[in-house]
Amino acid sequence: GENVEQHPSTLSVQEGDSAVIKCTYSDSASNYFPWYKQELGKRPQLIIDIRSNVGEKKDQRIAVTLNKTAKHFSLHITETQPEDSAVYFCAARGLTGGGNKLTFGTGTQLKVEL
């Protein structure tokens, strides 16, 4: 099945700096890559996603890039703010098995310091 690795596990940045989180996946047939943000004690929430036929997608201060050849994708957050502090999860949808099954990375704790 699909395997997703996520780095770093913790990331501390100064307010206003950029943050980058990287993920790799194992199933070359995977075709959908969402990112989730989870604030302390809350549920994960979808913040951005990308499909395998697209190389980059932006939404205001966040962007995701996908390199299918290298089987990795990244989340970029620019002009970070304290409210960006949270755990971020990447995920990949492999095509083995059935349904809309997502495999998640182990998460990155992002801390934005004032």
Partner 1 sequence: NAGVTQTPKFQVLKTGQSMTLQCAQDMNHEYMSWYRQDPGMGLRLIHYSVGAGITDQGEVPNGYNVSRSTTEDFPLRLLSAAPSQTSVYFCASSYSTVGNYGYTFGSGTRLTVV
Residue 30: burial class (beta carbons within 10 Å; 0-12, 13-18, 19+): buried
Q: Which residues are bridge partners to 72 per DSSP?
A: 24, 67
Give the nearest distance from C-beta 71 to partner 1 in angstroms. 17
Give the nearest distance from C-beta 79 to partner 1 in angstroms. 24
- Cβ nearer to partner 1, comparing 77 with 87: 87
- Cβ nearer to partner 1, comparing 18 with 28: 28
Give the nearest distance from C-beta 101 to partner 1 in angstroms. 6
- Cβ nearer to partner 1, comparing 17 with 39: 39
Determine the Cα angle at 72 with ends 33 and 91, to 5°. 30
* Contact positions vs partner 1 (CB under 8 A): 1, 6, 9, 31-32, 34, 36, 42-46, 49, 51, 89, 93, 97-107
CB-based contact 85:112 (threshold 8 Å) = yes
CA 66/CA 106 separation, integer angstroms: 19
